[in-house]
A = this chain, B = another copy of it.
Amino acid sequence: MFVEKVKSAGLAHLSYVIGSAGEAAVVDPRRDCAVYIELAAAQHCRITHIFETHRNEDLVSGASVLSALTGAAVYHGPNPAGEVVYASTAVEGDEFGIGKVRLRVLETPGHTDDSLSFALYDTDFGEQAVAVFTGDALFVGDVGRTDFYPDRAEEVAGLLYDSLQKILQLGDQAILYPAHGAGSVCGSGMADRELSTLGYERMNNPRLQIERREAFIEAKIAEHHLQPPYFRHMEELNLSGASPLRHPLAPAPLTSQRFKELRQDCVLLDVRSASSFLGAHLPDSLALPVTMISAFAGWFLEPGDELILVANDTEQAALAALHLARIGYDRIQGFLAPSLAAWAAAGEAFGTLPVVDAHTVRGRRQEPRDDWTLLDVRDEEEFAQVSIPGARHLYVGELPGSLAELAPESAYTVMCGSGARATIAASVLLRAGFDKVDLFLGSMGAWKSVGFSTE
Contact, CB under 8 Å: B197 / A175: yes
Contact, CB under 8 Å: B250 / A41: yes
Cβ contacts under 8 Å, A253 to chain B: 22, 41, 44-46
Does any Cβ of B come within 8 Å of A266's Cβ?
no
Contact, CB under 8 Å: A418 / B275: no
Contact, CB under 8 Å: B347 / A442: yes
Cβ contacts under 8 Å, A20 to chain B: 192
Contact, CB under 8 Å: B280 / A341: no
Those of A34-54 within 8 Å (CB) of chain B: 34, 37-38, 41-42, 44-47
Cβ contacts under 8 Å, A417 to chain B: 345
Cβ contacts under 8 Å, A47 to chain B: 252
Those of A1-22 within 8 Å (CB) of chain B: 1-3, 20-22
Least CB distance, A302 to chain B, in whole angstroms: 23
Cβ contacts under 8 Å, A334 to chain B: 46
Per-residue B-contact encoding for A371-410, CB less than 8 Å = 1, 0 else: 0000000000000000000000000000000000000000
Those of A205-254 within 8 Å (CB) of chain B: 246-248, 250, 252-254
| From A315, A345, A355, residue with most partner B Cβ within 10 Å | A345
Contact, CB under 8 Å: B339 / A274: yes
Inter-chain CA distance A424–B197, complex, in Å, is 44
Inter-chain CA distance A1–B247, complex, in Å, is 26
Contact, CB under 8 Å: B340 / A46: no
Does any Cβ of B come within 8 Å of A279's Cβ?
yes
Inter-chain CA distance A207–B193, complex, in Å, is 31
Using known A-B contacts A246-B69, A247-B34, determine if residue A130 contacts B346 with beta carbons closer than 8 Å: no
Q: Which of A74-82, A120-128, A146-154, A429-437 contacts B (4 or more CB under 8 A)?
A: A120-128
Cβ contacts under 8 Å, A196 to chain B: 130
Does any Cβ of B come within 8 Å of A419's Cβ?
yes
Least CB distance, A430 to chain B, in whole angstroms: 14
Contact, CB under 8 Å: B419 / A254: no
Per-residue B-contact encoding for A250-291, CB less than 8 Å = 1, 0 else: 101111001000000000000011111111110000000000
Contact, CB under 8 Å: A37 / B248: yes
Inter-chain CA distance A353–B172, complex, in Å, is 55
Cβ contacts under 8 Å, A126 to chain B: 200, 203-204
Does any Cβ of B come within 8 Å of A312's Cβ?
yes
Does any Cβ of B come within 8 Å of A199's Cβ?
yes
Does any Cβ of B come within 8 Å of A134's Cβ?
no
Contact, CB under 8 Å: B419 / A344: yes
Least CB distance, A352 to chain B, in whole angstroms: 5
Does any Cβ of B come within 8 Å of A178's Cβ?
no
Contact, CB under 8 Å: A442 / B3: no
Please, could you name 9 A-B residue pairs with CB atoms under 8 Å apart, sorted by A? Answer: A1-B192, A2-B193, A45-B253, A46-B258, A130-B200, A341-B443, A346-B449, A347-B445, A347-B449
**A-B contact sample (16 more), CB < 8 A, given A128-B203, A274-B340:** A44-B253, A46-B253, A46-B255, A47-B252, A69-B248, A125-B141, A130-B200, A172-B172, A172-B199, A173-B173, A173-B200, A273-B276, A273-B312, A278-B280, A340-B441, A346-B442
